[in-house]
A and B are shown apart, each in its own frame.
Chain A
């Protein structure tokens, strides 16, 4: 009941003209980012953070969250129309969405994706509103050892699911943690790894680093291999037929549940829920042979899971302060820039902000539906924009954004350096997600670790003698063990196949 009252007060604030405008602007910018191939939600959110510097904290978070889920939807348009996913989570949509477009059903594919995204987003927002308060109250019992263990679990999950080599993922995690420690030591006040450069006393700016790793690196990759431009595909008949509705409704329901539940687990990322939703739909179908040939369920299910995941992933961030993907980590960075630390204490200190942001997920999803059903043709036209203008515009925005953080050229330099680093890491398929999450969690982890060790007079067993912390540590060990086993098993299967 208390949660409902808080949510209603959140709605009152979220429905103010100002916050509606922020949500609208975020949805437009997010969809734009998603539509432009190459720029995913992480790059888009990072690049656009500086736009929110002069907004109040609530407005800034509403706008950035809207950019995030707007980009998640926008990626669908390129997947369907030109078979190029706007972001990783839309990869699976290409399989049937593009086939539908080739069959002259691009409108229906985009229509069902918009409806599925809306349903998934709204249901996930309802579930978020229901579970947020009880979970936050439970998390209030956490002390520094529990928080350290929780963040450790989060990093293990992201690391474990990161790619082909566990060692490489762990290396990226450690690199991110070390880079997060540059600057003045928060406990003793000693400068660390600063080389006497005053600009480094505040640490490496999170925003320039992620703008470089995602934004600049992405543009350099696009310049190296320009993407295809859209041919002339006509978009008509957005509304699905009765038969298509019948086939899509179950897929939308299942996609919602899968997306939301997987969103609760830090580290899963947006790709796994979409693939899982697709695979389950194919297994349940009486005609699995239609999948890959323009099955509408093959679009409805992953697109729903995609948006349900986007809202579900807000639960670990808001309630526990643990981001579950690079984009959510960037959102966490935006919270921190605004002087807020996501987690259970935020529900006590700033309930107005938390519930307004949660309520904005509802309004944002409605705005997104309005933007994407009638205006889909407008978005599709953007795909005809030559990549040269996209690259020049994005780089201009990156320079402006990085400079405007503190008004120094130093941050622009940091962004360029990490742009080059990100370019090489992407070329090598090295996992970036663990590094970004570690970068945002590093200072909190160090503080929790050192406070815990001060509490126990240097005894590490404090992490194993407290029940919640011990459970989390066992869980973390299991994650790493299972990931190592999976990677080894996958490698032996591939070796056997190649023989």
Chain B
């Protein structure tokens, strides 16, 4: 858990450093008062100081992280990563092949990754989750969803 917190603190420190740098490029003050960079600059400075403070406390073992260890279940993480990859690909394809075809590919993929092997159920879910959902939300509820280059 401690390593995880240290990594989080370092990431946050880098994020705050970015905000400080970017805010510095904007004006901190102008004739009317505080400029666009004022609030983010000082927030970034405060955040950076706190991140360093947290890192120091972690180094000195002064943060009570409880007894729970940071556990990653290997098979579970593999599934989560595969799901995430599927989501990224489906998102990239959304505007290209449209909502229906993207979901027609994504839903069976997700169900198969998660261990569903009943092909009839997978097929029904895929059609319901793509064409069915599109009909309800786009045609009936007028929710904007992409049609894609094929137009369906």
Contact = CB atoms under 8 A, between A and B. Distances in A.
A268 interface: no
Interface string B18-38: 010011001001101111111
B84 A220 contact: yes
Residue in B9, B44, B129 with the greatest tally of chain A CB atoms within 10 Å: B129
B103 interface: yes
A165 B33 CA distance: 35
Nearest to B52: A167
Top 8 nearest A-B pairs (CB, nearest first) are A224-B76, A185-B36, A174-B47, A388-B114, A454-B33, A167-B54, A491-B64, A190-B36
B64 A494 contact: yes
Given A388-B115, A391-B110, A409-B95, A454 B32 contact: yes
B152 interface: no
A393 B129 contact: yes
A164 B64 contact: yes
B116 A412 contact: no
Interface of B: 1, 4-5, 8-9, 12, 15-16, 19, 22-23, 26, 29-30, 32-40, 43-44, 46-47, 50-51, 53-54, 57, 62-66, 68, 70, 72-73, 76-77, 79-80, 83-84, 87-88, 90-92, 94-95, 99, 103, 106-107, 110-111, 114-116, 125, 129, 133, 137, 141-146
Contact of B15 (A165, A175, A388): A175
Interface in A199-252: 216, 219-220, 223-226
B114 A224 contact: no
B54 A416 contact: no
Nearest to B112: A388
Q: How large is the interface on A (under 10, 10 to 19, 20 to 34, 35 or more residues)?
A: 35 or more
A450 B64 contact: no
Given A167-B50, A174-B47, A429 B36 contact: no
Contact of A416 (B39, B62, B87): B87
A392 B133 contact: no
A174 B42 CA distance: 10
B40 to A, nearest CB: 5
B12 to A, nearest CB: 5
Given A54-B142, A181-B40, A458 B34 contact: yes
Contacts of B79: 223-224
B34 A403 contact: no
6 contacts: A170-B50, A223-B80, A223-B114, A392-B114, A399-B94, A400-B137
Interface in A405-450: 407, 409, 412-413, 416, 419-420, 423-425, 427-430, 445-446, 449-450
A405 to B, nearest CB: 9
Contacts, number: 190
A387 B35 CA distance: 50
Main DSSP-derived SS at the A contact region:
helix
Contact of A53 (B34, B51, B111, B143): B143
Contact of B66 (A219, A388, A429): A429
Contact of A389 (B23, B94, B103, B125): B125
Interface string A379-411: 000000011110111011001100110010100
A141 interface: no
A392 B39 contact: no
Nearest to B1: A428
B16 to A, nearest CB: 7
Contacts of B106: 395-396, 399
A181 B39 contact: yes
Given A387-B114, A416-B91, A450-B38, 5 more contacts: A168-B5, A174-B47, A392-B107, A428-B70, A494-B64
B8 A424 contact: yes
A430 B143 contact: no
A187 B26 CA distance: 13
A219 B73 CA distance: 15
Given A175-B12, A392-B129, A223 B26 contact: no
Residue in B1, B9, B39, B43 with the greatest tally of chain A CB atoms within 10 Å: B39
Nearest to A494: B64
B114 to A, nearest CB: 4
A178 B47 contact: yes
B44 A404 contact: no
Contacts of B46: 174
A68 to B, nearest CB: 21
Nearest to A172: B12
A393 B128 CA distance: 10
Contacts of A389: 111, 116, 125
B12 A164 contact: no
Contacts of A165: 54, 57, 63-64
Interface in A431-478: 445-446, 449-450, 453-454, 457-458
Contacts of A407: 144, 146
Interface in A333-364: none
A458 B95 contact: no
Contacts of A326: none
Interface string A35-57: 00000000000000010011000
Contacts of A425: 8
Residue in A53, A177, A223, A424 with the greatest tally of chain B CB atoms within 10 Å: A223
A339 B34 CA distance: 27
